[in-house]
Chain A
Amino acid sequence: MAKQLHIFVENKPGRLRAITDNLQKVGINIRAFAIQDRGDYGLMKLIVSNPEQAHLSLADMGCACALKDVLAVSIPDRPGNLHRLLSVLVDGGINIVDAHGFVLQPNQQGICILEIENLAQTNAEQVVRKAGFDVLGNDQLNNL
């Protein structure tokens, strides 16, 4: 299962940069990121080359952060595929808490990072695989 790094960040100039600064110093590559805004603060969500190391490094700096299991689904970059993925999840009664996506190779492959409600208690991964999508682990994400 892929890990996503969640970091509590105050909504102030310089806070995001403090995080990227910390990560670049330990040679972490950021593969994808998203920010969930809550007004006076937000959560920065990162897919990185070495989640455990990044987590430790940020925790050492005093960040409030956590690693979270997410579903990283590879989907063909063609019309209708996100719709197909979502339909499969809906049919399986699976709820998405938050998500972001990025194109890896234009017109060929995109990646969808899904936070699933109570992921461990669902069969989300199975459902998605059964529908013909690839679910990626950390190593695969890293080697993209």
Chain B
Amino acid sequence: MIWNEKYECMPVNELKQVQSERLKKLAAYIYTNCSVYKDKFDKAGIKPDAIRSIDDIKKLPFTTKIDMRDNYPYGLFCKDQKEVIEIHVSSGTTGNPTLVGYTRDDIKLWSEVMARCMACAGAEPGDTIQNAYGYGLFTGGLGAHYGGLEMGLRVIPMSSGQTQRQLKIMQDFKPKIISCTPSYALYMAEEAREMGIDPKKGSWKIGVFGAEPWSEKMRNEIEATWNMLATDIYGLSEIIGPGVAQECPNKNGLHIFSDVFYPEIIDPDSGEAVAEGQDGELVITTLTKQAIPLIRYRTRDIVSINYEKCKCGRTSPRISKIKGRTDDMIVVRGINVFPSQIEHVLLGIKGTEPHYQIIVDRQQHQLDEVEVLVEVNSKMFSDEVKQLEELKRKIKKEISAVLSISAKVTLVEPKTIERSMGKAKRVIDKRQM
């Protein structure tokens, strides 16, 4: 079904009208209510009344994760904190995390777009969803939860982990929909076999998989293993959380809800739009969000876009699967990790120098493993094993506190981490996506 036919299937010229009206309002709203944006507008020499249609969006300055970090915590808010009813925190590049906040209307918007996603994947009111995205500060869990409630699904709020229990719940309540990271779906199949359950006979018929990059190969494997339809969902906490774009059963790109999240694809270096169908950085403007609306937010995700009407009837454009990043962020078990966060941890530990390397690996049908190699230098070197072990334990503890994932820490000899062109290669990703 199509959850919001009016907007999802709106003729393109009408849609443009809606986007134009919303952008005009947004420019005025943000200029009046947020001094950071006012300064940005003023610096760019642009007044809100210069925005007359959606095409004028190019006149507006970009917003980046740096803006979010520099104005932490409340600088980008356009609403008084009393009107903010929920906040989430995700990883920042260094030091300060990224804070996102929602007014009551923002939560309604989030519920609406997530309901669109569920329906787009093939859910019908009355179906049961097993939501195995993590609940908590991570937006995945609650986002899918709100969407499920909004469209009248029966929601089983499993959260992530507890694999045997997940499988028991699947057998007992026969949910039709599963939402989790794609790698977790494969991991659960492995566990199911070990428990003597045939995944092919499982109750899940629709998967809403996201929060990490995955390939067509992985999709085929999930679909064959679980005998289900595996769809891709996209989102980022800065914009709203999950619910920005979703594949329909045609599996030919993710419908981005452009009446509320206006997409542009740009050349990351020049900032200019690329031709339709070309790869570029996805930039999103939240047309109706209230607490922290974002103008031309640089997602750093590389995609292409297709504006053709889809066979499903939706006119909302389709973005490709994420093809890469313009920065060095990696996604591990659905969690965004910036190498700079690890650098920050190491700098904070007395005696350590930030010579490190992150190795990410995934054994077949297993979850991601992270190993951090840290060079031991003469300053931090202790002549006792006990102290080296203590150092290792400390690094491990702090990394897990900052990243919310556990990493193996390996101490290595000085100057053994490969340096190319004088700059160390920070991440080695061995995963087969």
Q: Name A residues whose Cβ lies closer than 8 Å to a Cβ of B.
A: 6, 8-10, 15, 36, 38, 40-41, 43, 59, 62-68, 97-98, 115
Tell me the interface secondary structure of chain B in the complex: loop
Taking CB atoms, residues of chain A closer than 8 Å to B386 are 97
If A8-B413, A10-B412, A98-B385 are given as contacts, then 15 extra A-B residue pairs at C-beta distance below 8 Å, sorted by A number, are: A38-B385, A38-B389, A40-B410, A40-B411, A41-B410, A43-B388, A59-B378, A62-B415, A64-B376, A64-B378, A64-B381, A64-B414, A66-B378, A67-B383, A97-B384
Taking CB atoms, residues of chain B closer than 8 Å to A40 are 410-411
CB contact under 8 A between A65 and B415, given known A8-B376, A8-B388, A40-B410? no
**Contact string, B375-401, partner A, CB cutoff 8 A, digits 1/0?**
011101111111011000000000000
Taking CB atoms, residues of chain B closer than 8 Å to A63 are 378, 413-414
* CB closest residue in chain A, given B411: A41
Taking CB atoms, residues of chain B closer than 8 Å to A43 are 383, 385, 388
Complex contact B414–A36 (CB within 8 A): no
Taking CB atoms, residues of chain A closer than 8 Å to B414 are 62-64
- Tell yes or no: B416 within 8 A of A by CB: yes
The answer for the CA separation of A62 and B413 in the assembled complex, in Å, is: 8
The answer for the CA separation of A64 and B377 in the assembled complex, in Å, is: 5
Taking CB atoms, residues of chain B closer than 8 Å to A15 are 413
Tell me the interface secondary structure of chain A in the complex: strand
Taking CB atoms, residues of chain A closer than 8 Å to B380 are 64
In the complex, the 7 A-B pairs of residues with the closest C-beta atoms, listed nearest first? A64-B381, A6-B383, A66-B383, A68-B383, A64-B376, A62-B415, A62-B414
Taking CB atoms, residues of chain A closer than 8 Å to B389 are 38
Complex contact A38–B388 (CB within 8 A): yes
The answer for the CA separation of A54 and B297 in the assembled complex, in Å, is: 57
Complex contact B385–A36 (CB within 8 A): yes
From residue B102, how far is it (CB to closest CB) to chain A in Å?
A: 45
The interface size of chain B toward A, counting residues with CB under 8 Å, comes to: 19
The answer for the CA separation of A66 and B381 in the assembled complex, in Å, is: 8
Taking CB atoms, residues of chain B closer than 8 Å to A65 are 378, 381
Q: Which of A9, A66, A115 has the most CB of B within 10 A?
A: A66
* CB closest residue in chain B, given A37: B385
Taking CB atoms, residues of chain A closer than 8 Å to B383 are 6, 43, 66-68
CB-contacts of B84-124 with A (<8 A): none
Q: How many interface contacts (CB-CB < 8 Å) are there between A and B?
A: 51
The answer for the CA separation of A9 and B376 in the assembled complex, in Å, is: 10
Q: Which of B376, B378, B380, B386 has the most CB of A within 10 A?
A: B378
The answer for the CA separation of A10 and B415 in the assembled complex, in Å, is: 12
The answer for the CA separation of A41 and B377 in the assembled complex, in Å, is: 14
The answer for the CA separation of A91 and B355 in the assembled complex, in Å, is: 45
* CB closest residue in chain B, given A66: B383
CB-contacts of B415-432 with A (<8 A): 415-416
* CB closest residue in chain B, given A68: B383
CB contact under 8 A between A10 and B413, given known A64-B377, A65-B378, A66-B378? yes
CB contact under 8 A between A64 and B413, given known A8-B376, A59-B378? yes
* CB closest residue in chain A, given B412: A10
Taking CB atoms, residues of chain A closer than 8 Å to B382 are 66
* CB closest residue in chain A, given B408: A40
The answer for the CA separation of A51 and B386 in the assembled complex, in Å, is: 23
* CB closest residue in chain B, given A9: B413
Complex contact B377–A10 (CB within 8 A): no
From residue A116, how far is it (CB to closest CB) to chain B in Å?
A: 12
- Give 30 pairs: A residue, B residue, CB < 8 Å, sorted on A: A6-B384, A8-B381, A8-B388, A8-B411, A10-B416, A15-B413, A36-B385, A40-B410, A41-B388, A41-B410, A41-B411, A41-B412, A43-B385, A59-B378, A62-B415, A63-B378, A63-B413, A64-B376, A64-B378, A64-B380, A64-B413, A65-B381, A66-B378, A66-B381, A66-B382, A67-B383, A97-B384, A97-B386, A98-B385, A115-B384
Taking CB atoms, residues of chain A closer than 8 Å to B381 are 8, 64-66
The answer for the CA separation of A63 and B381 in the assembled complex, in Å, is: 10
The answer for the CA separation of A98 and B388 in the assembled complex, in Å, is: 15
From residue B350, how far is it (CB to closest CB) to chain A in Å?
A: 16
From residue A92, how far is it (CB to closest CB) to chain B in Å?
A: 21
From residue A112, how far is it (CB to closest CB) to chain B in Å?
A: 18
* CB closest residue in chain B, given A40: B410
From residue A20, how far is it (CB to closest CB) to chain B in Å?
A: 15
* CB closest residue in chain A, given B416: A10
Q: Which of A43, A62, A63, A64 has the most CB of B within 10 A?
A: A64
The answer for the CA separation of A55 and B388 in the assembled complex, in Å, is: 19
Taking CB atoms, residues of chain A closer than 8 Å to B376 are 8, 64
* CB closest residue in chain B, given A41: B411
CB-contacts of B364-382 with A (<8 A): 376-378, 380-382
From residue A79, how far is it (CB to closest CB) to chain B in Å?
A: 31
Taking CB atoms, residues of chain A closer than 8 Å to B385 are 36, 38, 43, 98
**Contact string, B15-57, partner A, CB cutoff 8 A, digits 1/0?**
0000000000000000000000000000000000000000000
The answer for the CA separation of A84 and B380 in the assembled complex, in Å, is: 37
